[in-house]
Amino acid sequence: MSSDKERFRKSKKGTRAVHSGTSPSKNSLNTPVYQSSTFFLDDNAYDMWMNGKPRAPVYSGRYYNPTNRAVERKIAHLEGAEDALVFSSGMAAICTTLLNFLGQGERLVTTRNLYGGTLLSLDQDFVRFGIDVHYIDVKDLGAVEQALKEKETKVLYCETVTNPLLEVSDLPKLAALAKKYGAVSIVDSTFATPIACNPIEHGFDLVIHSVTKMLNGHSDLLGGTVVGSTEMINQIWYKLRNFGGSMDPHQASLVERGIKTLQIRYDRSTKTAGLLAEWLEKHPKIEKVIYPGLKSHNDFELSKNMMSGSGNMVSFVVKGGDEAGRKLMDNTEVASQAISLGGVESLISMPYTTTHASWTQEDRLNAGIDLGFIRFSTGLEDFDDLRDDFDQALSLL
């Protein structure tokens, strides 16, 4: 049978999401779950193991599992990359990848406009390891270049669409700067998904996703992935083996199942998010709406040029501050008050009590997370029901 690359080279992403990577056994439509911690040793396994080659088929998870490998191939093909690795969580993917390239005294150039869990790890652990974590505004390309050239930098790290401010990073220009100064460019593209944006096409070396979110899409597991060139993925594989943040094969099978509907879930939730953003922008009790698909968004043109869709995430500020925001969330009936995002059900939260709970009020305001700031993950409910739910909740403020 021809490889995925050959069979689906000209296929659109919906087709790739369904078919790429799937490794059925005899008479099976789906990839089996290889629920085994170890595998029979043969000459090939011995040779790979004894010579230290990546993915020796000797021991599950940390070394190799056919179920995991199937979902890795699927994700890699969706991203237009040579290879991928899957991890037990998004944070396992982020930390393992970054620590592969960073050591004591070496510089990481990044921004504070990141997922709160990433910032916690950088501030609490990477600094403790002696890594020079240098924060700048990645929207300021002059500041990025200055940071890269004033000290040799190992990694430039950002997010395609930031969490929770939904700023869009100029990936082509950032990738060019990283290449100019010899830094590895790494981007967390969880909010964009491979459906809307493929950062490798824009010059980035590595792309990370929390597959907990839209890739899996059913709010029933944790997982992470990194995609890129075979050479770089093989390097990271050794750290995965050492650190042990490997994905369970049953977890991997659920991820593969989830990705098969990624295109249709992304399209539906993105359409609804756009309608909801437009409606909220006109509501008298809403201070402002942040959504890349709105003309009022600062990155509207950049988003159109770099992404094929604006995503399912909508952020907005309620008049009346945090108290009004909490009351709004308490009164929603269709949307569920919970952290995470990208599932079939709509989720609503306030970053100041969840992803950015460790920040001082001054820090959050300086970052743009205003009083009354709400992050909304649009699910697959009908727009009319979500609109009516917001309408009744806002009427109680």
Q: Which residues lie below 8 Å from residue 178, measured CB to CB, with a gap of 6+? A: 148, 156, 184, 185, 205
Structure tokens at 177: 């700067």
Query: Exposed, middle or buried by CB within 10 Å (0-12, 13-18, 19+), for 85?
Result: buried
Q: Are 111 and 158 in contact (CB under 8 A)?
A: yes
Inform me whether the pLDDT recorded for 2 exceeds 50.
Answer: no
Inform me whether the pLDDT recorded for 258 exceeds 90.
Answer: yes
Q: Which pLDDT score is estimated for 392? A: 97
Q: How far is CA 329 from the centre of its chain?
A: 25
Inform me whether the pLDDT recorded for 26 exceeds 80.
Answer: no
Q: Which pLDDT score is estimated for 15? A: 87
Q: Are 300 and 294 in contact (CB under 8 A)?
A: yes
pLDDT in tens, 193-230: 999 999 999 999 999 999 999 999 999 999 999 999 99
Structure tokens at 31: 């990839």
Rounded (5°) CA angle 173-179-181: 105
Q: Which pLDDT score is estimated for 133? A: 98
E strands within the chain?
83-87, 107-110, 132-135, 153-159, 184-188, 206-210, 224-228, 286-290, 313-318, 336-337, 347-349, 373-377
Q: Which pLDDT score is estimated for 6? A: 57
Banded pLDDT at 5 (limits 50, 70, 90): low
pLDDT in tens, 132-153: 999 999 999 999 999 999 999 9
Inform me whether the pLDDT recorded for 355 exceeds 90.
Answer: no
Is the CA virtual torsion 114, 120, 121, 127 positive or negative? positive
The residue extents of the domains of the chain are: 4-259, 263-395
Q: Which of these ranges, 53-67, 314-328, 383-397, has the smallest mean pLDDT?
A: 53-67
Banded pLDDT at 9 (limits 50, 70, 90): low
Inform me whether the pLDDT recorded for 10 exceeds 50.
Answer: yes
Q: What is the mean pLDDT of residues 278-307?
A: 97
Q: Which of these ranges, 42-46, 183-187, 206-210, 327-331, has the smallest mean pLDDT?
A: 42-46
Distance CA 380, CA 362 (A): 36
Q: What is the mean pLDDT of residues 299-319?
A: 97
Structure tokens at 202: 């824009």
Nearest Cα neighbor of 162 from 300, 292, 339, 21 is 292
Give percent of the chain above pLDDT 90.
84
Inform me whether the pLDDT recorded for 4 exceeds 80.
Answer: no
Q: Are 394 and 285 in contact (CB under 8 A)?
A: yes
Distance CA 109, CA 120 (A): 16
pLDDT in tens, 333-351: 999 999 999 999 999 999 9
Q: Given its phi and psi angles, is residue 359 left (phi above 0), alpha (psi -120 to 50 degrees) or beta? A: beta
Instruction: Give residue for tokens 């040779």.
Output: 47
Inform me whether the pLDDT recorded for 191 exceeds 80.
Answer: yes
Mean pLDDT score of the chain: 94
Nearest Cα neighbor of 237 from 258, 206, 216 is 206
Q: Which pLDDT score is estimated for 353? A: 83
| Reported CATH class of domain 4-259 | alpha beta
Inform me whether the pLDDT recorded for 96 exceeds 90.
Answer: yes
Q: How far is CA 189 from the centre of its chain?
A: 4
Q: What is the dihedral of CA 360, 365, 367, 373, to 10 degrees?
A: 100
Nearest Cα neighbor of 262 from 186, 319, 344 is 344
Domain 263-395 has CATH 3.40.50.720: no
